Structures are given as C-alpha cells and as structure tokens.
C-alpha cells in the first residue's frame, strides 16, 4: 500500500511517500528557519504563507524521489492536529485537492501520535507493551503503549514542555532561533556538573514533569553572573541546563518502566535529537536491561514520514474528500 503523507502542523513543510506502515521511500522536509529566526520564534501567518508557496513543490519532490506519481498512491495521510490552524489548513486543503482530482481516500493523523510511533514503525520487531517518551516543542509525555492506537498517558508536563524550555533558555541567552539545537551546540563545550539546576518533580512519586522552575533558575543564574558572561561560563550554564532536563526525563522514564514492568522503551519528538539525552537514555537502558528504540534524527523533528507510516494503521478510516471533510483541529487531543 502506497501512502502520500503531508505534515504542515507548524513551520516545516514536509511530504513523504511511505509503504505498508514501515517503509519510508522519501521524506522531504523544507525548513522555514530562515523566515522565523528573524522574529525569534514561529510567526503563524508567515508559516502558513510559506506552506502555501511550496507545498506543491515539496509533494512533487517526494513523489519524484520515490519514483512514483499521484496515481500510484492508495491513500493520502495528512496531519489533522495539534498545530497552528493556518498551517494545518494548508496541508489539509492541498490533500483535499489531490483526493478530488485523483479519487484517492484520505485520513487525518494526530501529530503527537506520529512522534510516538515514528521510531517503532521502521522495520523494527517490537513487542508491546512499550513505554513511550514524547519530548517535542509543545508536549512532554510518558505513554504506556499496548499497541498502535492503544495508549495510556501515565505522565505529562504540568507547565512547560521540554522543547519549550530549550527555546526559552536560548532566548534568555541571546542564542536565537531555533533554540534547542543552539543550546545543545553551546553545551558541547561546557561542564554539565558546573551548576546544579533543579530537577522539577523528580522526588514526586508521579510520572509528571515540570520545567518552568528550571527555566526560572537559569534566568536567575544568568542575572547573577557578571556581564558579559564569558563564553566558557555560558557553555557551562547551557550544559548544566541540558543535564537537568536529561536527568529528569531519563530518571522518570526508567522509574515508570520499572513500575509498569515494561521492557521496551522508545522516545520521539524534536528534543530526542539532543545528543546528551540520547546518550544518557542509551547508557541507562543498557545498564538496567531495557531495550531502547530511538528514531534516527530526521524522524525526531517534524516530518511527513512519521505521518505516512502511522496512517497505514488507520487506513480503514480513509475516505474520499467529496464524502468527508477533514477539519483541522489545533488542539487535537492525544487519545489516552
């Protein structure tokens, strides 16, 4: 089954051609960082306009790279939410046009579920239950997965998402946008043990997270330093911040795996590109005997490949645009 997928929930225009729920034949991602960097964050109206300008080219490129045409597609998959309303509308409208023109049924996919299943659907033999950690720009969650589509959320952030904390710390440090990769680059030269930042809710028995206290601690630390802050000290602050995020995420994840008796752990979302977090997850899972399934970097951040592979599992829901309109849902809930 060939699936053409589109992902336009935020500021990446992406199209992919996937096959049978595990194979990604092409995964084209056009970043809009050049536009939004100037404003220090995503400007929704500009994001939607750029999606409109390039979505056709991105979809054509994905088809070309997969040596396929629209007529070879069996279903169309599109991100329905959560995301920016204008951005979601562009992806959905584009796919509706394709559905009308070629008579191909389409299905709406949850973006967060896409992040969750992205690492599992790529050729891996996975035995459920799996414990999934989602760490993106807007979400931080621990999910018990009994199968694709059978989830129980066992923890979530009570305030900022981990990616959001990275982005805010980058702004505080004057590093610019996108924040995560910039903090991470600076942190490479720093000492992660230079400053002991708070690990929100680590002592609590719940599997919830909190990153706003950490963010405020970084702010006060930056204010208390003599300015201009030397580069090495900045790197130490970045590395210590990263360490605090990784520590909280990894310890809670392993604790949850132990409590629920789950042997396989997976993680997805943009923050999983972070080298310190990946290494720490790998080391701890190895030490405690858990199998860890991590996505390759391209599948961590927003991409249509994760939408297309997941859509295979929801293929029975696909309908022609003429029979069923898919509504964009900016706050689409993750089905628990």
3 or 10: CB nearest ligand KG4: 10
| Contact range with ligand KG4 by CB under 6 A, out of 44-52, 146-154, 264-272, 309-317 | 264-272
Residue 228 sits at φ, ψ, to 5 deg, of -70, 145
Contact 49, 41 (CB under 8 A): no
- Binding track, positions 106-145, relative to Zn ion; x by CB under 5 A: ------------------------------x---------
Which of Zn ion, ligand KG4, none binds 180 (CB below 5-8 Å, type-dependent)?
Answer: ligand KG4
Phi-psi region of 149 (alpha: psi -120 to 50; beta: other; left: phi over 0): left
Task: Decide: residue 331, CB within 10 A, 0-12 exposed, 13-18 middle, 19+ buried.
Answer: exposed
| Contact range with ligand KG4 by CB under 6 A, out of 14-22, 89-97, 173-181, 194-202 | 173-181
| Contact range with Zn ion by CB under 5 A, out of 170-178, 195-203, 224-232, 302-310 | 302-310
| Contact range with ligand KG4 by CB under 6 A, out of 72-80, 175-183, 216-224, 313-321 | 175-183
Q: Edge-to-edge strands of the sheet including 264-268?
A: 150-156, 140-147, 130-135, 264-268, 291-293
Of 96, 129, 302, 326, the one binding Zn ion (CB under 5 A) is: 302
Which of Zn ion, ligand KG4, none binds 140 (CB below 5-8 Å, type-dependent)?
Answer: none
What DSSP letter does each residue of 176-208 carry, written as one string? -SSHHHHHHHHHTTS-TTSS----TTTTSSSS-
Q: Say whether 108 sits in a helix, a strand or coil.
A: strand
Contact 265, 253 (CB under 8 A): yes
Query: Which residues lie near ligand KG4 (CB under 6 A)?
Result: 10, 115, 136-138, 163, 166-167, 178-181, 184, 269-271, 273-274, 301-302
């Amino acid at each position: 089954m060939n699936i053409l997928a589109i992902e336009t929930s935020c500021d990446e225009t992406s199209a992919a051609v996937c096959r049978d729920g595990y194979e990604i034949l092409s995964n084209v991602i056009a970043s809009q960082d050049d536009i939004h960097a100037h404003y220090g964050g995503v400007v929704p109206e500009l994001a939607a306009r750029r999606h409109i300008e390039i979505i056709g080219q991105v979809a054509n490129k994905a088809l070309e790279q997969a040596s396929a045409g629209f007529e070879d597609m069996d279903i169309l998959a599109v991100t329905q939410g959560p995301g920016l309303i204008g951005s979601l509308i562009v992806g959905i409208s584009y796919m509706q046009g394709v559905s009308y023109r070629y008579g191909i049924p389409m299905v709406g996919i949850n973006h967060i579920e896409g992040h969750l299943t992205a690492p599992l659907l790529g050729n891996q033999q996975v035995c459920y239950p799996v414990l999934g950690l989602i760490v993106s720009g807007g979400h931080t969650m621990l999910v018990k997965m009994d199968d694709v589509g059978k989830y129980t959320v066992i923890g979530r952030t009570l305030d900022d998402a981990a990616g959001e904390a990275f982005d805010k710390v980058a702004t505080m440090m004057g590093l610019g946008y996108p924040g995560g990769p910039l903090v991470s680059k600076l942190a490479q030269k720093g000492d992660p043990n230079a400053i002991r930042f708070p690990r929100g809710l680590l002592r609590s028995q719940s599997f919830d997270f909190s990153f706003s206290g950490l963010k405020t601690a970084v702010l006060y630390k930056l204010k208390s330093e003599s300015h201009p802050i030397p580069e090495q000290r900045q790197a130490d602050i970045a590395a210590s911040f990263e360490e605090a995020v990784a520590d909280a995420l990894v310890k809670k994840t392993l604790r949850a795996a132990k409590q629920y008796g789950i042997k396989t752990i997976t993680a997805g979302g943009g923050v999983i590109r972070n080298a310190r977090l990946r290494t720490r997850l790998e080391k701890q899972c190895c030490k405690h005997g858990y199998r860890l399934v991590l996505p390759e970097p391209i599948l961590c951040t927003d991409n249509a490949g994760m939408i297309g592979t997941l859509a295979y599992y929801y293929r029975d829901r696909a309908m022609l645009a003429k029979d069923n309109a898919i509504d964009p849902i900016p706050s689409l809930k993750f089905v628990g």
